[in-house]
Amino acid sequence: MNAPVNIRRLSTADADFEPQFQRVLHWSAETDAAIEDRVAQIIDDVRARGDAAVLELTARFDGVQAASMAELEIGRAELLAALDAITPAQRRALEAAAERVRDYHQRQLEATSRSWQYRDADGTLLGQKVTPLDRVGIYVPGGKAAYPSSVLMNAIPAQVAGVGEIVMVVPTPRGERNALVLAAASIAGATRVFTIGGAQAVAALAYGTATVPRVDKITGPGNAYVASAKRRVFGQVGIDMIAGPSEILVLADGSTPADWVAMDLFSQAEHDELAQSILLCPDAAYIAAVHEAIERLLPQMPRAAVIRASLEGRGALIHTRSLEEACAISNRIAPEHLEVSSAEPQKWEPLLKHAGALFLGAFTSESLGDYCAGPNHVLPTSGTARFSSPLGVYDFVKRTSLIEVSEAGAQLLGPIAAELAYGEGLQAHARAAEMRLREGVAALSAPVAFSVRPVDRSNAEAVMKLQVAAGQRAFVSPVDRSLAQVAYEPCGRAMAMFDGEQAVGMMLLYDVRKDEEDPANQLYVWRLLVDARFQKRGYGRLAMAWVVDEARREGYAEVGLSHVDKPGHAGAFYEKLGFAYTGEVDEGERKMLLKLEGV
């Protein structure tokens, strides 16, 4: 009689559910220090000795003696021979799966990975250029198991993306070359295939040797040595992800035959002892039925020992209060594979935010996704589905921003960029933007619909809605107070600033020539206010450009202004426009002057 399967039975109604649940989820991604040290040595050796190191390490770890790297490369003829050697049923299965995977990723390419661009109102072109990577490396596990499906899932998206060269590496312990894997490489479009594996294969792809070409990105699963090597070479090359143990979570409403769900849990547990299989269900009787099916079906499985170890070590059958609660728990787990085994899967799908892949409905077994449904089976594990995605076409392209600024656009964007650059203390950035302006400060208003108008009945309502920015209230009075002040000053005038028909600010100007006590040939900027909603868009500079032009038109010799000497004052802004401090201070305000002769 077989021993019972001691898989955890939890209930969200239990007082100790949370600590029990955390024990189920716990898995350490930390790698063994000895593995890390050995991998570092292997990578350094391959970098230093290239092909010689790869040959030596392949002989040591895989038992494959080769006099040269040429003996470890599989040519196109051998790949085609492997395709001919497999059974007709195997070939049909591989070709059907490849066709579905290729079709899916072609649609993905159109939806996510095409270049685009547009021109804005001033003729500036903006967009994104999408280009495929030049060369990628795909790692295919070998040894105890052969994975032709991994070849399809890694190589086909790269081929669809337009990658120029696909270099495949696959270990062949004791020289055993798997015909299914090689046939899959032929169908999937691998350009070159090397029978090398482990950390030495990753290092060869990342740094290149005399024979193995250096790639731009490495994808594909492997053992702890491969994962460690991928982590170490990241930055030298791109990688897809660092995969943890395989996972499945089944969210069930009790409508699917219990045997089906038990077998779906087995489908991931049979990968290895650290794989995780979890059932979430609000029906206690159904959970008991699934448990019974596990006990009954397990002895029939060739990998029963591995499945048992996985279910007892990291598996769980969890009774929830409702399917809504089950969805919430699933989001916390963020599983690699999530089956919604329900009569109404579309009802629950909107509640599920985090999963590598969603399998909707009783007939959608996870195994179909592994082989032939179409979407990629390289998925985020260990909760990383919270922030990462399945392998796809988008992993084999890169995006480049496109910017072509028109002359008119430079006049609009230059003042904005310069203002921000000066604020960051990067004067060269600011000057580079300013050098492209047509004629300096005086010409800044030309490319936008900027205008200055006297405040009158036609625009007073719009002007009254202007607001002082929060950081400027210590320096600038509100609009109503400013208008009240200028109303009683014969030498003053209020001017509204517009962009099109949108009021963006206001100025108070003072004609010093009319001052009875101390007249001078000067136009004085009494107040400058840019609405809080329109800060950092260059309107302050445009306004001052208009003032300079106005002063010239009216024959003034200079433009004057002053500011309160408090932190955050606008003195630096005015200095950039050519104003200089006079050294005078009047009622706490420092005076500045711009001489118009030669400006």
Indicate if 337 belongs to the active site. Answer: yes
SS3 assignment, position 557: coil
Indicate if 26 belongs to the active site. Answer: no
Quick one: DSSP state of residue 441? B
Single out the catalytic residue among 337, 339, 419, 563. Answer: 337
Task: Give the CA radius of gyration of the chain.
Answer: 35
Closest C-alpha to 81, from 183, 189, 181, 178: 183
154: amino acid identity, one letter? N
Structure tokens at 274: 């650290």
Cα(533)–Cα(525) distance, integer angstroms: 22
Single out the catalytic residue among 270, 336, 366, 419. Answer: 336
191: amino acid identity, one letter? T
Query: CB of 95 within 8 A of CB of 371?
Result: no
Cα(163)–Cα(157) distance, integer angstroms: 9
Bridge partners (DSSP) listed for residue 561: 525, 592
Alpha carbon dihedral 458, 464, 469, 474, in 10-degree steps, equals: 120
What lies within 8 Å, CB to CB, of 300 at 6+ separation is none
Query: CB of 381 within 8 A of CB of 247?
Result: yes
Cα(404)–Cα(20) distance, integer angstroms: 58
What lies within 8 Å, CB to CB, of 42 at 6+ separation is 53, 57, 198, 199, 200, 203, 225, 229
Cα(571)–Cα(561) distance, integer angstroms: 10
Taking the mean position of all CA atoms in its chain, how far away is CA 144?
35
Cα(563)–Cα(588) distance, integer angstroms: 8
Quick one: DSSP state of residue 472? G
For strand 192-194 and strand 165-169, is the pairing parallel, antiparallel, or unpaired?
parallel
Cα(278)–Cα(23) distance, integer angstroms: 13
Query: CB of 12 within 8 A of CB of 321?
Result: yes
Q: Tell me the catalytic residues.
A: 336-337
